[in-house]
Amino acid sequence: LDYDAGLGWHDARIVPYQPITLDPAAKVFHYGQTIFEGLKAYRTEEGKIVLFRPDMNMKRLNRSNDRLSIPAVDEALGLEALRQLVQVDQDWIPDAPETSLYVRPFVISTEAALGVSPSLQYKFIIIMSPVGSYYSEGIKPVSIYVESDYVRAVAGGVGHVKTAGNYAAGLKAQEGATAQGCAQVLWLDGVHRKYVEEVGSMNVFFRLGDKIVTPALTGSLLPGITRDSVIHLLRHWGLEVEERLVTIDELVEAQKDGSLKEIFGTGTAAVISPVGSLYWKGEKLTIGNGSTGEVSARVYETMTGIQTGRLEDPFGWRVSVE
Ligand code: PMP
């Protein structure tokens, strides 16, 4: 799909995967005016191809577009494009359980001009790739590195949308996390450097005493679609979920007095990622007994069951592409 000022979005088409040609002065290279989404298509046991809450991805895509001064894409057209493309490529969805087709919609600004102003031309592209099960050897806890020097986002910035610069700015911190044997960074807020926000590509949940707590959407973290779904699911089970500010000090104290029972991340890629330990100021703090917690395991089983068609979908989240 192309956009030209005056014409609007036009020329929707499906073409074979191929390199694209861009002018070296295309604005995306210089000013990072680009956004993306990520979702998965699954093949159910009955052979149906389903997407998980794709309407949420289209809505978030347009919130990202708006923040980056990119013209909105018609959501119905975007959903239709997703359906058609996934159908064309459905043979790529492996039959093995919990494997999927990862779908990556994105927008880039293509106008060749060096002035800092919104581009007058864009491309909206959707690419796809088959992905294996995230946990080929079963769900496994990871270590998370609490970042205290670098900052990912501040309120008023772009942390609440999916734009490339957020991820570029996180790479340096990720190197530090990897060097300490950690899978991902846990970001603190950019102003006080004490409120926990999110993990590199996941939102985060804490089982604190008899409640489940997740950082409130303050404007500097991404409103994850898995996060929203997990909150619904936990409340549906009758568990108390609090969306509020959480400080790293509260977590460290709760780890020491034993009331921090579980931590897990939520995101499209892993669905649920249990956290076995937190690396904070040179110390590795074990969460619970370091293995996958009972709520994490139950949420993982249920979410993947709903997504892949193994379980009933009481919330109407699965969307068939046929
Ligand atoms: N936070 C960030 C920074 C992410 O990149 C992602 C992955 N999209 C998430 C959270 C989780 O969002 P979702 O559940 O929609 O995949």
Taking the CA of residue 38 as reference, the ligand 1 atom at the shortest distance is: 8
87 and 106 housed in the same domain: yes
45 and 148 housed in the same domain: no
Q: Is 153 a member of any domain? A: yes
Report CA 169 to chain centroid distance, whole Å: 16
Spacing, Cα 46 to ligand 1 middle (Å): 29
pTM of structure: 0.97
Q: What ipTM was estimated for this complex? A: 0.99
What residue owns the CA closest to ligand 1's atom 12?
Answer: 224
**Closest C-alpha to 245, from 294, 188, 288:** 188
11 and 122 housed in the same domain: yes
Rounded-to-integer distance, Cα 292 and Cα 295, Å = 9
Which residue, of 88, 110, 131, is where some domain finishes? 131
**Closest C-alpha to 176, from 290, 282, 287, 285:** 282
Residues with C-beta less than 6 Å from any ligand 1 atom: 38, 198, 201-203, 222, 224-227, 266-268
What residue owns the CA closest to ligand 1's atom 3?
Answer: 201
Q: Which of 103, 171, 222, 299 to mutate to test the pocket of ligand 1 (most atoms within 8 A of CB)?
A: 222
Rounded-to-integer distance, Cα 163 and Cα 167, Å = 8
Spacing, Cα 284 to ligand 1 middle (Å): 25
Q: How many CB atoms lie under 10 A from the CB of residue 140?
A: 13
Give per-residue pLDDT as tens, 1-42.
Answer: 999 999 999 999 999 999 999 999 999 999 999 999 999 999
Q: How many CB atoms lie under 10 A from the CB of residue 69?
A: 11
Q: Which domain holds residue 164?
A: 142-308
What residue owns the CA closest to ligand 1's atom 5?
Answer: 201
Taking 70 as the pLDDT cut, the residues of the chain under it are 94, 97-98
Q: Is 170 a member of any domain? A: yes
Taking the CA of residue 227 as reference, the ligand 1 atom at the shortest distance is: 14
pLDDT recorded at residue 97: 66
Taking the CA of residue 162 as reference, the ligand 1 atom at the shortest distance is: 5
**Closest C-alpha to 249, from 146, 104, 124:** 146
Residue 214's H or E segment, with its range, is strand 211-215
Domains identified in the chain, total number: 2
86 and 65 housed in the same domain: yes
Token pair for 180: 């300490």
Which residue, of 131, 159, 187, is where some domain finishes? 131
Residue 175 CB partners (closer than 8 Å, separation 6+): none
Length of the chain: 322
Q: Which of 214, 268, 303 to mutate to test the pocket of ligand 1 (most atoms within 8 A of CB)?
A: 268
Please state, in angstroms and as integers, the Cα–Cα distance from residue 96 to each residue in 39, 252, 305, 309, following that order: 18, 40, 14, 13
